[in-house]
Amino acid sequence: MTEISKGRPFLEVFSAAMKENYRFPILEIFAFLYAFGTFIFAGLGATVAQSSETFAHGLVNTLTGIPLFILLILIWANVAYGLGNDIEKGTIQTLLSYPLKRRTVLTAKLLSALGVSLLLFLGIQLFALFLLTPEITRDYFGTIALTYAANLSSSLLMAGIVLLVALVLKRGGLALVVGIVLYFALTIVSSMVFFLAWTGTELPFKAFALIYPNMALDRYYTGAGSSPFGTSELWVPSFSEALGYIGASYVIVALIFLLCYVYFDRRLGI
Amino acid sequence: MSWISLTGRLGTVLLIIGLAIGLVSLIPAAPMGGFSSGGTQDAPQEKYTNLYTTSTITPQTGLLINVNASDEVYVYVLNVFESDLQDWSTSWVREHFPNINETMLWWESRNLTVLDAFLESHSDAVVWKSDLFTRLSQEVFPAKVSNATVLIANPSHDSIRFEYEIKSITSLAPRERTLLPAELLTLIGIALTVPWIFFTRIRKTPQQWK
């Protein structure tokens, strides 16, 4: 089969996934929440920054609370309910009947579920940031991109885990519950390791930074600030170390998705 | 998914983003507690007077400047510390008038010619500058993190009296930056959405009538 003749079935699977994931007005509701949320949450924690670079990093960090959670909800809904329910109800058989490899079908589904959601989220947020702080966004685009990369890796990791659970259990609802529990568990763990780090035990903090690398990047930008528990010398990584943590976190994300592909390709049992 | 549906959905998304940004621009700036300055004083002729200095203003935390003067004046918001401006001004006066005595030095450093010389050599220090006015109420938000020193400059040959109040304010999004993009996005969104509504909701194709 030629590449051109493969392209059409791929687009048909992608188009079907898009129709299923983004029925009117789901896309519009999320677009509104991203645009509105960007302005509502931007900058509230970044006003004390003493340099434009730290301000740029802080500004993006303020957007990784509620708006990022909204992105996660959309991704989980697409992955768990979209793909998970397709498997649960057997409608995935129709997609697998296309003259495409299984992994190509999964790619088309993920491109719709993850790719379009991320494109919408990042497109709106970067546009809003440019409106809000045109000079900072232009001058420190590298810092902004790096902060987004650091924040998104944990979301992608959770999306990957939800996908894997949906594939293994073949139940979308259960995968969604696992995702929500995982999100809150990681929030609690991040608070715990931060507390431990301030009290002198830094190893859990560094280990956790492998799946939540923004902790390392944040320490690099904010530096040796004062501790809520008095004077402390909390670990401050170098820039290359912070980059290393971001890179390592994406390697973990890539491994999870690779596992999903291998399972979907060889062990799904459909 | 046909092209008309794709552009239509793109249109609805752009329309919604435009409306969201428009909604944000309607939310007024709010005063921040703790930082304010005000009073009534005289502005000597052809001199500038420092009104306010703050360490940091950002694209979301700016200044609300209200001035009511008896004659026309300028207001400048400069990205500079007052002490740095003073040091530069006194050294400029010393350089150009080497015989000036110390008691006159401070007074002469407040001349508008000195300020003009400073602004010529530090053109990027101007965060905002007003036109000539007697009554002003202006919100100032910088494009990047800045220091803020607010000056009033009296270009006339007579001393004038003015009242002023300067407050720190915070805004989700300065209106002058968001209103135009919001209008453009809404218009483009409507232009892309109308054909989609027309072809898919109002006028059905012959196949769909069967």
Q: What is the pLDDT of residue B1?
A: 60
What chain B residue is nearest to A11 in terms of C-alpha separation?
B1
Write the DSSP assignment of A123-159 as a string of letters: HHHHHHHHHH-HHHHHHTHHHHHHHHHHHHHHHHHHH
Closest alpha carbon within chain A to B142? A133
Distance CA A127, CA A260 (A): 33
Contact A36 B58 (CB under 8 A): no
Candidates B14, B21, B124: best to mutate against A (most CBs of A within 10 A) is B21
> What stretch of H or E contains B64?
strand B61-78
3-state class (DSSP) for residue A99: coil
Which token pair is B137? 């109420």
Torsion of CA A157, A158, A159, A163, to 10 degrees: 100
Asked if A132 and B170 come within 8 Å (Cβ–Cβ), the reply is no
Which pLDDT does position B150 carry in this prediction? 94
Closest CA to B31 of B137, B171, B146: B171
Gap from B133 CA to chain A (nearest CA, Å): 28
- Cβ-count burial of B137 within 10 angstroms (0-12 exposed, 13-18 middle, 19+ buried)? exposed
Q: Check whether residue B100 and residue B183 sit in a common domain.
A: no
Tokens 């959405």 — which residue?
A: B193
Q: Please tell me the predicted confidence (pLDDT) of residue A226.
A: 47
Partner-chain residue, chosen from B16, B60, B143, that has the shortest CB–CB distance to A135: B143
3-state SS of A181-195 is HHHHHHHHHHHHHHH
* Residue found by looking up tokens 């030095």 in the block: B105
Are residues B178 and B167 located together in one domain of the fold? no
pLDDT at B58 over 70: yes
In terms of phi and psi (left: phi > 0; alpha: psi -120 to 50; beta: otherwise), the region of A128 is alpha
B47 pLDDT above the threshold of 50: yes
Q: Are B146 and B54 in contact (CB under 8 A)?
A: no
- Low pLDDT (below 50) residues in chain A: 45, 226, 230-231
Whether B164 and B77 map to the same domain: the answer is yes
Q: Using CB atoms, pick whichever of B17, B21, B61 lies closest to residue A47.
A: B61
Interface A-B, measured as beta-carbon pairs within 8 A, has a size of: 86
**Same domain as B3, residue B99:** no
Residue B71: in which H helix or E strand, if any? strand B61-78
Helices A141-169 and A66-76, axial angle in degrees (round to 10): 30
Let me know whether B118 and B160 are in one domain: yes
Smallest CA–CA distance, residue B126 to chain A, in Å, is 15
Give the pLDDT mean for B89-101. 91
The pLDDT score that the predictor gives to residue B210 is 44
Domain holding B166: CATH number? Answer: 2.60.120.380
Same domain, B74 and B149: yes
Nearest chain B residue to A48 by CA distance is B56
CA atoms B112, B114, B120, B126: torsion sign = negative
In which residue are the tokens 């497109």 written?
A123
Same domain, B128 and B204: no
User: From CA A134, how far away is CA B59, in angstroms rounded?
Assistant: 9
Which residue of B5, B12, B26, B60 to mutate against A (max A Cβ within 10 Å)?
Answer: B60
Q: How confident is the model at residue B161 (pLDDT cuts 50, 70, 90)?
A: very high
Question: Up-side HSE of residue A142: CA atoms within 13 Å toward CB?
Answer: 4
Q: Which residue of A has its CA nearest to B20?
A: A36
Q: Of A146 and B143, which is predicted with more confidence?
A: A146
Who contacts B131 (Cβ-Cβ below 8 Å, separation ≥6)? B74
Q: What phi and psi values does residue A2 have, to the nearest 5 degrees?
A: -75, 165
Cβ within 8 Å, pair A36-B24: yes
Write the DSSP symbol of residue A97. Answer: T
Question: For chain B, how many residues are written?
Answer: 210
Mutation to test the B interface, candidates A12, A47, A116, A122, most B Cβ within 10 Å: A47
Residue B144 and residue A52: Cβ atoms within 8 Å?
Answer: yes
**CB–CB of B1/A18 below 8 Å?**
yes
User: Among the listed ranges A142-151, B52-61, B71-80, which one has the minimum average pLDDT value?
Assistant: B52-61
Residue B143: phi and psi, rounded to 5, are -80, -15
Q: What do you get for the CA distance between the two ends of chain A, in Å?
A: 23
Domain check: are B160 and B182 in the same one? no
Find the mean pLDDT for residues B143-151: 88
Residue of A132, A140, A221 to mutate, testing the B interface (most B Cβ within 10 Å of its Cβ): A132
Closest to B110 measured CA to CA, from B96, B125, B90: B90
Domain holding B81, by residue range, is 35-171
- Are B68 and B149 contained in the same domain? yes
Name chain B contacts of A19, Cβ cutoff 8 Å.
1
User: By CA distance, what is B25's nearest residue in A?
Assistant: A39
Distance of residue A29 Cα from the nearest chain B Cα, in angstroms = 8
Give yes or no: residues B40 and B58 share one domain.
yes
Q: Nearest chain B residue to A39 by CA: give it.
A: B172
pLDDT tens, position by position, A126-139 = 998 888 888 889 99
β-bridge mates for residue B41, sequence order: B162
User: According to the model, what pLDDT value does residue A4 have?
Assistant: 57
Query: What is the mean predicted confidence (pLDDT) over B82-87?
Result: 91
The full DSSP string for B129-197 is: E--SEEEEEEEE--SS-EEEEEEEEE-SSS-EEEEEEEEEEE-SS-HHHHHHHHHHHHHHHHHHHHHHH
CA dihedral A60, A62, A65, A66 (to 10 degrees): -100
Over residues B108-133, mean pLDDT: 94
| Same structural domain, B41 and B96 | yes
Q: What torsion, rounded to 10 degrees, do the Cα atoms A203, A204, A209, A211 define? A: 130
Predicted local distance difference test score (pLDDT) of residue A89: 87
Q: Name the residue among A174, A154, A152 with its Cα closest to residue A162.
A: A174
Mark whether B204 and B151 lie in a shared domain: no
Residue A45: count of CB within 10 angstroms of its CB: 14
How close, in Å, is residue A183 to chain B by CA atoms? 28
- The structural domain count of chain B equals 2
Report chain A residues touching chain B, CB-CB < 8 A: 15, 18-19, 22, 24-25, 27-28, 31-32, 35-36, 39-40, 42-43, 46-52, 55, 120, 124, 127-128, 131-136, 139
B12/A28 CB distance under 8 A:
yes
